[in-house]
Structure 1
């Protein structure tokens, strides 16, 4: 019996049919939104995340907390499974979840011999069951290099100083999609030129072009992204005036390498 951990609910049904008898754990957290304070272990961090997600979504905090507690409890039972298979995509949403999970294994689990990883360069939710069946034999044991890189990147992501992300913007074969994902994250900090994030700048340009409908704006924004990472909930938060990540920074040295790029 295996434990499959993946980026959300879109593939749960397919996995349950393709791998009968196995357990599927969807990792439901939008880590690029809201607080992810450093140093907190997973149980305490889950409480912080639940409070934020409840406040922003309107879901009762008790229900969100219950979901997180059930998730974390199942993760802690990983040794009961013959294999733990991580299925994650190339985009920022997934890469943050992946490094969180790998960091947990690096710092908490005494033995990761049963841990496997599938790194997909396309969206799992768009894949057929036949494609999942093709990917499954390509799973590989998670290496010490992958665990170390993920743990260090997770600490940098949680740091109050965005400059800590800079070492992880260099491509690394261990986690090949991590550097471009974190580079896109950096563009969500206030830019030194006008204090706006890249997403805010794109929204302004689309509005100048005459788009006003919220759904049309989200669709047009998504089509401009090389790897779609932001869901409509996150996009509408920005559209409705949510401040860019790390507001209050007067100067961000990382952003200087991105500000000359077209949005």
Structure 2
């Protein structure tokens, strides 16, 4: 079993959903970002999505776009992103890390070299937003050979004809995009999301994690009732941005605010686990 498989098995045994947290590697700078990454599990993150900065993150809203630009401005590279994973693994061999981003930086790095280096560093999975199943013949076999889960996205517009292609060769979990649009720009409708998730569950035994637009305890609680995981991204990178100084550098408030928000958002999941144990 992969670290992702083991995590969802543990969450199921605990009777709760998992919190999947997203931050952008190198935002606002390498050292601050690495410290945040290392602090996420203790704050309540069950799985970490680590964004690979890209200059044109077209599926992302303003908050994550800005985080990518901050990271690139601070000198973040793919090598540094993989170095962050490597440093994290020196202290944590349990928490899964999923590298999330776009295909261009991987293609430029060279696909075979990327999957080899990502696996060696300790990454567990990949979410490549702009790589459809029909175009993944370079990445998918190489990732599978190295034991990296390739996690695909399903959306409100993924119909019955399209869903089998999305689920084919997907591993780890399915990422359900709860809104039609870019990240962080609207709130998910739990009733609608539940119906779509139910449709996907009828086609796969993989865990499902719901993301896009999640920013409150209530949303985390309600979405975790219909899926195995809840993803929070824009709210976290916005929390980082709110603490930066006028030059875009981290401050004494950056780490406590970000990790405090993760702890706050994870509370409904911990409470559910406690209730299940009674």
| Same structural fold, with TM-score higher than 0.5 when normalized by the shorter chain | no
* Higher RCO (C-alpha under 8 Å, 6+ residues apart): 2
Larger Rg: 1
TM-score category (smaller protein): 0.3 to 0.5
TM-score, length-normalised on structure 2?
0.33
Considering fraction of residues, name the structure with more strand: 2
TM-score, length-normalised on structure 1?
0.34
